[in-house]
Amino acid sequence: MDLSLTEEQAMIQDMAKKFAESELAPVAAQLDETYNETLFLSNINKLSELGFMGLNVKAEYGGVEAGAVSFSLAITELARACASTAVTTSVTNMVAEVIQSIGNEEQKQNYLPKLCSGEYRAGGFCLTETMAGSDPAGMKATAVKEGDTYILNGTKVYITSASFADLFVVWAVTDTSAKKGKGISCFLVEANTPGITISKREDKMGQKASPTNQVIFENCRIPATALMGQENQGFSIAVSELAGGRIGIGSLALGIGLAAMDYAREYIVERKQFGQSLSNFQGLQWKLADRYTDLEAARLLLMQAADNKDKGLPFSTSASMAKYFAAEKANTACYDALQIMGGAGYIKEYPLERFARDVRVTSIYEGTSEIQKVIISRALLSEVS
């Protein structure tokens, strides 16, 4: 098995790393403190100009056509510097891939170049509801057909980038008489459509520069041409696209975990106690060995899932394994890195407390760790049932 990167993959990884170091790292703490949306969007626009908003989108639609492995590598490097920027990049790519996967030619030609170029500042993935998070099939939002339009009503919650996203992919029930999960459809809705209200941004524990909002649809009338794919077949689309999104979030978690451990490693080489460098103490050495081994294993799982996706092989289970493992091990890495630094890790002067806050949600969004274990175990049992 050849685990080496192609020239293109290595180039994209290097470009993401250089951008993260020069543009994101210097302002990450400021963005965490101030939520400066102008500064945040300036970096998002720069990433669009570099092609990072359409990494797995075909060139004919304005994308880079670099594949899932390149996407994973890029998100990891961006997350090392700023998790908020990385998650917005990941979700916008996810929205673009939904459109490329199931949109008709007119929808692809109309929307994908705008997402990839930055004309649309971001894309929003409107699936989750208050009573339909880990169980999205239980959503209550509806889309009622009326002539050549649909009328959307309902509220979506925890929507990344909602306050500045210019395009939403929205799931809603179109057949209320169908069995649970069988009467759901998928729509493309522009943010300036009358009937859409964006709530104030949530006051979150971490990833604060990336806004998270409710998106409220009140008699929001959209054309019938906004339907993507077949009516009442939208739930399978959501399940499929979430698998790809899990590669993104697993990669994001990996980036945060690596950033935390790298910082702690440098700190203990310079810091002295009992007349010698902290790096001489076996207890700390073993923490480094354990956590870097975990993170390397996470990287390999992510690469496997991404490579399977690029090759057109089944990747849903491998993506769940990668996301579950990477998120859990990155959380452990951030907390161990903070512990290695002692009291200094708890002080905002150092980035460890931000890393610890930013990483926590990776085991929650795009499917909790518990949901990943359900998906993995069902796949394993289906092989013998």
- Residues with catalytic annotation? 366
From 238, 264, 225, select the one nearest 184 (Cα to Cα): 238
From 70, 222, 216, 188, select the one nearest 120 (Cα to Cα): 188
* Token pair listed for 101: 């996967």
CA angle 263–246–138, rounded 5-degree value: 130
Contact 185, 232 (CB under 8 A): yes
* Distance separating alpha carbons of residues 88 and 122, to the nearest angstrom: 7
CA 257 to each of CA 44, 184, 215, 303: distance values in angstroms, whole numbers, following the listed order:
22, 37, 31, 16
Contact 210, 84 (CB under 8 A): yes
Q: How many residues does the chain have?
A: 385
* Distance separating alpha carbons of residues 328 and 359, to the nearest angstrom: 9
The stretches of the chain forming alpha helices (DSSP H) are 7-19, 28-34, 37-50, 68-81, 83-102, 105-117, 234-270, 282-310, 316-341, 352-360, 369-382
What is the end-to-end Cα distance of the chain in Å, rounded? 31
Contact 229, 237 (CB under 8 A): yes
Residue 219 Rama label (left phi>0; alpha psi -120 to 50; beta): left
The CB density around residue 337, as the number of other CB atoms within 10 Å, is: 28
What is the number of alpha carbons within 13 Å of residue 347 lying toward its C-beta?
6
- Rounded to 5 degrees, what are φ and ψ at 13? -60, -45
* Distance separating alpha carbons of residues 294 and 253, to the nearest angstrom: 12
Contact 334, 362 (CB under 8 A): no
Helix (H, G, I), strand (E, B) or coil at 194: coil
